Amino acid sequence: MSTAESERERLRAFVLALAELLEPSLREAGVWRTSDVRAPPAAPPAEQKAPSLKTGLLSAEDAAEYLGMSKSWVYKAAEFGRLPCVRIGSALRFDPSELQAFVKSQRKSDGSIAR
């Protein structure tokens, strides 16, 4: 699921929760029906090519998906030297093995979440 899709799902969940809270009073006023915000049945997910860690360099979008972060975070982390990247012309590319090493380096051995 892409970042945009997950944001839409979170927003939809928020609207539905809000609707359930407000529904009785709004329904009495004839303004609101929960069915108005219910999502249509989900279509089966389109076949998406998941970034493969065996095929060359990844784009910023693929790196963001792999890391579970936004594309803007990936660009900022690369700009500040926190995330290893390769610049090819004006494009940034990411080596999958370096991304794996980055993820491993972020793990805390003591289980703490402090920086």
Q: What is the mean pLDDT of residues 22-36?
A: 57
What is the rounded distance in angstroms from the CA atom of residue 103 to the CA atom of residue 74? Answer: 13
Q: What is the mean pLDDT of residues 94-101?
A: 92
User: What values do phi and psi take at 38, rounded to 5?
Assistant: -65, 140
Range with top average pLDDT, 35-44, 52-61, 90-99: 90-99
Is 95 in contact with 84 (CB distance < 8 Å)? Answer: yes
The pLDDT of residue 47 is: 61
The DSSP code for 91 is: E
Put simply, whether the predicted model's pTM sits higher than 0.85 gets the answer no
User: What values do phi and psi take at 21, rounded to 5?
Assistant: -70, -40
The pLDDT of residue 39 is: 53
Q: Where are the domains of the chain?
A: 3-36, 60-106
User: What values do phi and psi take at 102, rounded to 5?
Assistant: -60, -45
The DSSP code for 55 is: S
